């Protein structure tokens, strides 16, 4: 598990990027945490910099939308989904299990 | 016979119009006419990743697997040469015609050429996929590139060519590049990226002509200086593709003239994207916008108009971006010359900043360099304040 940050450092409506070979973006939607691949599948942009709208994030460059729960494209121009990653909250810390698909909110 | 909509133009605006027709429950026939042989592709990467060879044709294809369900009839590699406004038939170069109940004009714009630059090898413009492939092949064997015009296309090609290891000079007639879209102060800041990355930028300098017999050898400046060049890229703007409509009865200006909802003066004919000069209530004139986002979003309104809706037109906040030398430049809003630019975050020297343009103390536009998150918030804010005003 990759430690991300204390829960208090990621308030609702905010996102954080976890750098790595394949960066991951972690989102707080009204207290539920979601993690997806950070790089938009359309063109190079960081989804952690995007706009959170309900359970979707809008890419800051071309406004492609991805469902944070499933990684599926909910608005063009992106054509392919992003991967989801499982988020674990333990003792006030947020962790991601990179490569393990999420099955819902943490 | 089922109704037919002809979409003339098979790039982002045309494809977006076809998708919007299906989204809005139109179930008739849709014929998409494109003068290029290619299925719709994304143009912005042509000056960046595609030119650098790091994005493939597949990467930049616009169609998604879901588009197969749209049931489109493609007429690619066919140029529209006329429109009969009485029968609403689109006449094609091959002599055939497409009879339609509704027509979406989405023929885009073409790169302006340098007078006298025709027929000389090594001289390029960049607009289409074929342009990009030809330029890429030429750059691979070149050492010196001269870019004429320091607008966004010119700056992006200069940036890509530097990455490929070429010696690059950019020549700009105006004293400050990008002063039109960004204002002189911020235009100058963005232009500093050239020097940061070893590109020579000559401003306030005109081009007298091109030197060479079969192949270009140099660009001659108005003061007589020759700039040696293996390849020349001409990036001096674009012209809307509307000549084919001259005898059609469709009202033309600097583009196909439409109202705010995309309707032309001919019933059943709408226009979208780079070829359309759309009435702007806020600017109180027809405005032709060449931005990608406009081509993506505008067709939904125009298609609704075609299908009979009379809802008020949305008031979009224009948005564009440019990637140069690893810096991401983003701009949203409508700037006027008298607006005051103020840095609200970061610093120009660090190449990471957010600038607000204010009119009577109210933000009307925002420019960011390497500030995507903050920029997105301001862009959203502008959108909601524009929506609240309209």
B112-161 pLDDT, tens digit per residue, is: 998 877 789 999 999 999 999 999 999 999 999 999 999 999 999 999 99
Of A51, A76, A77, nearest to B376 by CB-CB distance is A51
B370 close contact with A: CB closer than 8 A = no
Chain B CB contacts of A45 under 8 Å are 372
Domains and CATH numbers, chain A: 2-97 (2.102.10.10)
Asked if B171 and B265 sit in the same domain, the reply is no
Q: Do B65 and A50 touch (CB under 8 A)?
A: no
What's the pLDDT score for residue B389?
A: 58
pLDDT block averages, 10 residues each, chain A of length 106: 94 93 94 96 93 93 94 90 95 92 67
- On whether residue B161 sits in a domain, the answer given is yes
What ipTM does this complex have? 0.84
C-alpha torsion B324→B329→B333→B339, nearest 10: -100
Flag if A60 and B380 touch (Cβ within 8 Å). no
**Residue A106: what pLDDT?**
53
Q: Look up the pTM and report it.
A: 0.93
B150 to chain A, minimum CA–CA distance in Å? 22
Calculate the alpha carbon distances from A95 to A69, B75, B266, B351, B384 in Å.
Answer: 16, 52, 60, 33, 35
Sites in chain B below the pLDDT cut of 70: 1, 387-390
- Where among B221, B236, B251 does a domain terminate? B236
Regarding whether B22 and B103 lie in a shared domain, the answer is: yes
A-to-B residue pairs, Cβ atoms closer than 8 angstroms: 38
B192 vs B155: CA distance, rounded Å:
11
Distance, CA of B312 to chain centre = 26
Cβ pair B321, B330 in contact under 8 A: yes
Domain CATH number, residue B209: 3.50.50.60
CATH code, domain with B364: 3.30.390.30
B316 occurs within a structural domain: no
Do both B177 and B277 map to the same domain?
A: no
B33 domain residue, yes or no: yes
By the 8 A CB rule, do B297 and B313 touch?
no
- Among A60, A76, A77, the residue with its CB nearest the CB of B376 is A60
Q: How far is B307 from chain A (nearest CA, A)?
A: 22
Closest CA to B368 of B383, B358, B353: B353
B217 interfaces chain A, CB cutoff of 8 Å: no
CA B330 to chain centre: 15
Domain count, chain B: 3
Where do the H-state alpha helices sit in B171-328? 179-182, 184-196, 292-306
Nearest to A46 among B19, B45, B372 (CB): B372
Contact B18, B62 (CB under 8 A): no
Question: pLDDT > 90: what percent of chain B?
Answer: 90
B289: β partners: none
Q: For residue B383, give its domain range.
A: 326-389
B331: tokens are 């701009």
**Is B118 in the same domain as B51?**
no
Residue B317 lies in a domain: no
Q: Centre a 10 Å sphere on the Cβ of residue B66 and count the other Cβ atoms it contains.
A: 12
The whole-number pLDDT of residue B383 equals: 86
Query: B377: how many CB neighbours lie within 10 A of its CB?
Result: 16
Looking at the fold, whether B278 and B343 belong to one and the same domain comes out as no
Question: Are the CB atoms for A67 and A53 separated by under 8 Å?
Answer: no
């Amino acid at each position: 598990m990759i430690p991300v940050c204390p829960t208090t450092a990621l308030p609702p409506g905010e996102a954080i990027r976890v750098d790595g070979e394949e960066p991951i973006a972690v989102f707080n939607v009204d207290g539920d945490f979601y993690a997806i691949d950070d790089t938009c599948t359309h063109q190079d942009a960081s989804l952690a910099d995007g706009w959170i709208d309900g359970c979707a994030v809008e890419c800051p460059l071309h406004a492609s939308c991805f469902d944070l729960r499933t990684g599926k494209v909910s608005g063009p121009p992106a054509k392919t989904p992003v991967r989801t990653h499982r988020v674990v909250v333990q003792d006030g810390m947020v962790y991601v299990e990179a490569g393990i698909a999420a099955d819902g909110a943490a | 016979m089922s109704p037919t909509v002809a979409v003339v133009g098979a790039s982002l605006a045309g494809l977006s119009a076809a998708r919007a027709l299906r989204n809005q429950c139109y179930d008739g026939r849709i014929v998409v006419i494109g003068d290029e042989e290619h299925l719709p592709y994304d143009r912005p990467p042509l000056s960046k990743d595609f030119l650098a060879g790091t994005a493939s044709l597949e990467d930049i294809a616009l169609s998604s697997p879901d588009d197969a369900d749209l049931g489109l009839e493609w007429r690619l590699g066919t140029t529209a040469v006329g429109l009969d406004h009485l029968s609403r038939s689109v006449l094609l170069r091959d002599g055939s015609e497409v009879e339609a109940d509704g027509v979406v004009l989405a023929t885009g714009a073409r790169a302006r050429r340098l007078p006298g630059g025709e027929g000389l090898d090594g001289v390029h413009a960049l607009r289409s996929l074929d342009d990009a492939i030809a330029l890429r092949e030429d750059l691979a064997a070149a050492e010196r590139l001269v870019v004429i015009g320091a607008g966004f296309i010119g700056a992006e090609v200069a940036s890509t060519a530097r990455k490929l290891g070429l010696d690059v000079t950019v020549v700009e007639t105006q004293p400050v590049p990008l002063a039109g879209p960004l204002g002189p102060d911020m235009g100058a800041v963005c232009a500093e990226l050239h020097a940061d990355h070893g590109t020579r930028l000559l401003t306030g300098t005109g081009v007298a002509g091109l030197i060479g017999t079969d192949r270009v050898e140099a660009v001659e400046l108005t003061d007589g200086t020759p700039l040696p060049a293996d390849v020349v890229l001409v990036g001096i703007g674009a012209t809307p593709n509307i000549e084919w409509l001259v005898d059609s009865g469709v009202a033309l200006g600097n583009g196909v003239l439409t109202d705010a909802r995309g309707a032309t003066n001919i019933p059943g004919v709408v226009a979208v994207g780079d070829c359309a000069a759309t009435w702007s209530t806020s600017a109180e004139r027809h405005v032709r916008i060449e931005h990608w986002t406009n081509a993506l979003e505008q067709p939904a309104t125009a298609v609704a108009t075609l299908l009979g809706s009379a809802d008020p037109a949305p008031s979009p906040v224009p948005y564009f971006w440019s990637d140069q030398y690893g810096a991401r430049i983003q701009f949203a809003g409508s700037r006027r010359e008298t607006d005051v630019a103020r840095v609200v975050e970061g610093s120009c020297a660090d190449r990471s900043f957010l600038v607000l343009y204010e009119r009577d103390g109210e933000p009307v536009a925002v420019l960011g360099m390497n500030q995507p998150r903050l920029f997105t918030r301001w862009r959203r804010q502008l959108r909601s304040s524009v929506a609240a005003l309209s």
